[in-house]
Structure 1
């Protein structure tokens, strides 16, 4: 694609959460600090919420990578599970073998034995659940019962919930008030401001191997901020499309025109200026890339 053109080793704006691109936005750093502090104090439930695309999964994976040695992590990325499926997922993460006939009582006994074993090794178990807003109400109650397991001095398992704002609404239901009362630490992720967008884009280009002058100047960063409202995922989408257009024109820097085309082509972006444009990004990109390929063919043919 445009890797060679910009002198980079990999695509800098993919949507896959990659901890090597962790920028350390103030909101993200604060969330990590809150999580580590809460875990060290032995709290039962910890909650991190944020809008779609604010970097929850990235922080989740960063936490998994940075957990201190005394912690044993169990990770559930897709929590749309029945109570039975959730219990089995937790057991599997903790290397507890369950049979098809294992009932709730036997599950509790086996899990407790495993948790006590880990505790005797001077370690703590933390269960990390991503996209927690997808947990069915019955499964949330099953999760609460799992966290009832404790010694006389501390909990045998801690739970970190990552979720969209809908998680807050679900936890406000009367039938989940017991679990809500157990959430002792909570953090809400914030969106980026204009300067943070500029630094974020620059950081990702640098991690990808770029070494030249800014590809996205200050004017482009301000436009990125307006169109994305500071949401990292939307910034990534717009930057990737803008880089494609700049490459198609043989340019080393992205300009406002490239970004405006990218914005029009991205449904999640906030419309900027005139909504009516002659071509969609896909059509413009095809034309430009074709023209670039044709010029290259001419050079080698002459």
Structure 2
């Protein structure tokens, strides 16, 4: 956000950037419940999935969990669809643990699992965008989770992705992996009341604490425009602020939100 726009609304910082989200994380009911489910799963050294529509805060929740575990001396290994690469998850993880790949993926998986079990630290393996992972990578996951004859897991495994992840895991090919999942955590869009509170938290963090900013009809319009998805709220709210400022307004109204949507070609 330009300095002139910040001055217009008397704000210290942009209320709707990713940096603002990290500094003033809004822990709504769904976020808190999903995080608590994963915290309980941590104690079990089990397998969990985190499912969310794009823009609902999955990355923020993963970051929160990883930060908490790293403060407790956990080793966190993060992979996304694009970072696994052509060598496969097993081989990439082997290199991260200082091992040379063995003759087969199964042997490499056993060697990796044994190395992690010998490590005094606990390990979290996060596979983000798991709904888009190729079948070979999900098979690597299964190989990594069958070490030590099922007596002890070498790591906590967290598969995170969009709702289509449910369908992927339900495929017969991945039935063995699906059976091992202990916990499913889900992030849903915000309700109207949560959208109102989300906006308040963001604006307060940006320096307008206690000042009127989004008119009530604007809150309803933002909720309608975004369907409660935080990332969409951020984009539409910023556009509406620009429209309001161009009109010399100190507060954002429903018409500003509507016109911002028209500017983007969306009703």
TM-score, scaled to structure 2: 0.88
SS in 2 for 1:167: helix
Q: Deviations over 1:132-164 (max 9, x none)?
A: 111111210111111222487521112101110
Q: Which has the larger radius of gyration?
A: 1
Aligned twin of 2:191: 193
**Contact 1:19–1:62 under 8 Å retained in 2:** no
1:77 aligns with 2:80: yes
Work out the number of aligned pairs and report it.
Answer: 263
Cα distance, 1:6 vs. partner? 2.3
Instruction: Return closer, same or farther for 1:65/1:15 CA change in 2, 3 Å cut-off.
Output: same
Distance, in Å, in 2 between the alignment partners of 1:69 and 1:9 is 34
CA–CA distance in 2 between the matches of 1:106 and 1:170? 26
Equivalent pair of 1:202/1:214 in contact (CA under 8 Å):
no
Q: Does 1:264 align with 2:262?
A: yes
Higher helix share: 2
**How far off its partner does 1:77 sit?**
3.1
- Inter-partner Cα distance in structure 1 for 2:52 and 2:195: 17
Does the 8 A contact of 2:114 with 2:147 survive in 1?
Answer: no
Q: Is contact 1:13-1:236 (8 Å) kept?
A: yes
Q: Corresponding residue for 2:41?
A: 38
Contact 1:132 1:167 in 2 (8 A): yes
Alignment of structure 1 residues 7-46 onto 2, 5 Å: 7-14=10-17, 18-43=21-46, 45-46=47-48
Unpaired stretches in structure 1, ≥5 consecutive residues = 272-302
- Give TM-score, length-normalised by structure 1: 0.79
Q: CA deviation at 1:90?
A: 2.5
**CA–CA distance in 1 between the matches of 2:29 and 2:152?**
31
Q: CA deviation at 1:262?
A: 1.6
> Could you say which residue in structure 2 is the equivalent of 1:131?
129
**Shift of the alpha carbon at 1:16?**
6.8
Alignment root-mean-square deviation, CA: 2.4
Structure 1 CA distance for aligned equivalents of residues 94 and 54 of structure 2: 29
Are positions 1:50 and 2:42 aligned together? Answer: no
For residue 207 of structure 2, give the secondary structure of its aligned residue in structure 1: coil
Q: Does 1:244 align with 2:242?
A: yes
Change (3 A) 1:167 1:174: same
Answer yes or no: is the 8 Å Cα contact 1:49–1:163 preserved in 2: yes
In structure 2, stretches of 5+ residues that fail to align are none
| Alignment check: 8 A CA contact 2:110 2:147 kept | no
Mapped to 2, the partners of 1:265 and 1:209 lie a distance apart of 27
> Deviations for 1:19-64, whole angstroms, at most 9, x for unmatched residues?
2232001001101000010111221x10111112111111111111
Verify the 8 A CA contact 1:83 1:138 in the aligned structure 2: no
How does 1:88-99 map onto structure 2 within 5 Å? 88-92=91-95, 94-98=96-100
